């Protein structure tokens, strides 16, 4: 019987590989928030990052109002046992409040969002009332202040409505509009240059020759970066030529805050990225304990942050979301940068080597 020999790879034995958590933390701790801001209309603020706190000019709600359709009354008129009757003496609608005071033994019809009338401090839902003409009958089980939304309960005038670093989504735009705020100060857009490397890559639409493939990674990066809301600088496909790659890095670093590449960061003879970065900038790390996505490079080109993603299309997406996205969010000034982690069952077995 022959003896089986196991050949270990550098991933099995090299202790220099960073864990996913270590790599992500090192990237996020190494980048700086970009300078610069601009004033934009709230409709143009979608997916932008707030540069300053937004201070509310008004109370929300702006006045005590009813949370239900029902009847507003004095809590002193609530029955402690049995039932009691009250006379309906008017109505309060949203935009048309009741002009007067609710007296003892009286109530008014009130709609959701309508201003609470003077004297009333409690609302009984219409489903819990029996009405006969202009008289209602209510029973026990109610308490003072129920179904009332108080002035400033959600946001107080002069208090922060949104804080700096918040990414503005549809809900935040609606909130700003509800406060009567037409413009906000946001961080300028992060400028990201990106390109693919490889002699085998061809642009979409070109005919393929033997040994060639289409460059899909640049389109994937375009989609992910567009979704992030950055200013894009697409530099195309750069052949495996040392001089052309070096020139591309220099040009990208002069234009952008961050430079992202796909391919060229492994240990092949034609992978020049690491050597060029040693010349133009610095490498923080270029090996992580993750598959797909082991050859991930991170460092600097001049003053620009560099993130070198692997060439495999699945690896590009996996490493972008796990590492590049949190780092770019930090550079944008966003306060919520960590990827969402959800535990789900796997439908099949996963095999992996130790390390």
pLDDT tens for the chain, 355 residues long, are 433 333 333 434 444 688 889 999 999 999 999 999 999 999 999 999 999 999 999 999 999 999 999 999 999 999 999 999 999 999 999 999 999 999 999 999 999 999 999 999 999 999 999 999 999 999 999 999 999 999 999 999 999 999 999 999 999 999 999 999 999 999 999 999 999 888 788 888 888 888 888 888 999 999 999 999 999 999 988 888 888 888 999 999 999 999 999 876 655 544 567 778 888 888 887 788 888 878 888 999 988 999 999 888 999 999 999 999 999 999 999 998 888 889 999 999 988 777 6
Q: Mind listing the pLDDT tens digit for each residue in 6-40?
A: 333 343 444 468 888 999 999 999 999 999 999 99
Burial 65-76 (b: 16+ CB within 10 A, else e): bbebbbbbbbee
CA angle 31, 32, 37 (to 5 degrees): 140
What is the model's pLDDT at position 16? Answer: 67
Digit-coded pLDDT (tens) for 122-174: 999 999 999 999 999 999 999 999 999 999 999 999 999 999 999 999 999 99
- Return d(Cα 233, Cα 63) in angstroms, integer: 49
Q: Which of 251, 53, 57 is nearest to 163 (CA)?
A: 53
Is residue 124 reached through a cis peptide bond, with omega within 30 degrees of 0 on the bond before it? no
- pTM higher than the cut 0.85: no
Residue-level pLDDT at 9: 39
> What is the three-class DSSP state of 347?
coil
Plot region of 82 (φ>0 → left; ψ -120 to 50 → alpha; else → beta) = left
User: Which H or E run contains 224?
Assistant: helix 217-228
Question: Quick check: helix, strand or coil at residue 335?
Answer: coil
pLDDT confidence of residue 67: 97
3-state secondary structure of 278: helix
Residues contacting 223, CB < 8 A, separation 6+: none
Distance CA 188, CA 186 (A): 6
pLDDT at position 273 = 73
Pairing of strands 201-202, 65-66: unpaired
Distance, in Å, from the CA atom of 209 to the CA atom of 228, rounded to the nearest integer, reads: 35
**Burial status of residue 243 (CB atoms within 10 A of its CB: 0-12, 13-18, 19 or more):** exposed
What SS3 class is residue 172? helix
Q: 334 near 48, Cβ under 8 Å?
A: no
């Amino acid at each position: 019987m022959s003896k089986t020999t196991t050949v270990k790879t550098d991933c099995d034995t090299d202790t220099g590989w960073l864990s996913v958590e270590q790599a992500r933390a090192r990237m996020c701790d190494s980048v700086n928030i970009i300078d610069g801001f601009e004033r934009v209309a709230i409709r143009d603020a979608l997916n932008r990052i707030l540069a300053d706190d937004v201070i509310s000019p008004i109370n929300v709600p702006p006045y005590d109002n009813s949370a239900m359709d029902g009847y507003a009354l004095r809590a002193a008129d609530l029955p402690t046992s049995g039932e009691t009757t009250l006379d309906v003496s008017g109505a309060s609608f949203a935009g048309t409040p009741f002009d007067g005071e609710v007296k003892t033994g009286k109530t008014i019809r009130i709609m959701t969002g309508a201003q609470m009338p003077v004297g009333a401090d409690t609302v009984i839902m219409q489903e819990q009332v029996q009405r006969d003409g202009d008289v209602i009958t209510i029973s026990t089980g109610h308490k003072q202040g129920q179904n009332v939304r108080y002035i400033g309960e959600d946001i107080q005038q002069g208090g922060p409505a949104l804080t700096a670093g918040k990414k503005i989504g549809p809900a935040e735009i609606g909130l700003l509009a509800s406060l009567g705020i037409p413009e906000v100060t946001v961080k300028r857009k992060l400028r990201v240059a990106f390109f693919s490397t490889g002699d085998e890559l061809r642009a979409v639409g070109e005919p393929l020759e033997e040994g060639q493939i289409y460059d899909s990674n640049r389109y994937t990066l375009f989609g992910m970066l567009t979704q992030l809301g950055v200013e894009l600088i697409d530099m195309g496909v750069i052949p495996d030529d040392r001089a052309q790659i070096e020139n591309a890095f220099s040009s990208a670093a002069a234009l952008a805050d961050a430079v992202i590449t796909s391919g060229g960061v492994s240990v092949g003879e034609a992978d020049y990225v690491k050597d060029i970065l040693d010349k133009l900038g610095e490498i923080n790390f270029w090996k992580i304990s993750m598959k797909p996505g082991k050859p991930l490079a991170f460092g600097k080109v001049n003053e620009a942050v560099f993130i070198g993603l692997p060439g495999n299309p699945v690896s590009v997406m996996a490493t972008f979301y796990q590492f590049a996205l949190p780092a770019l969010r930090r550079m944008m000034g966003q306060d919520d940068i960590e990827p969402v982690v959800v535990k789900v069952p796997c439908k099949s077995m996963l095999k992996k080597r130790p390390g």
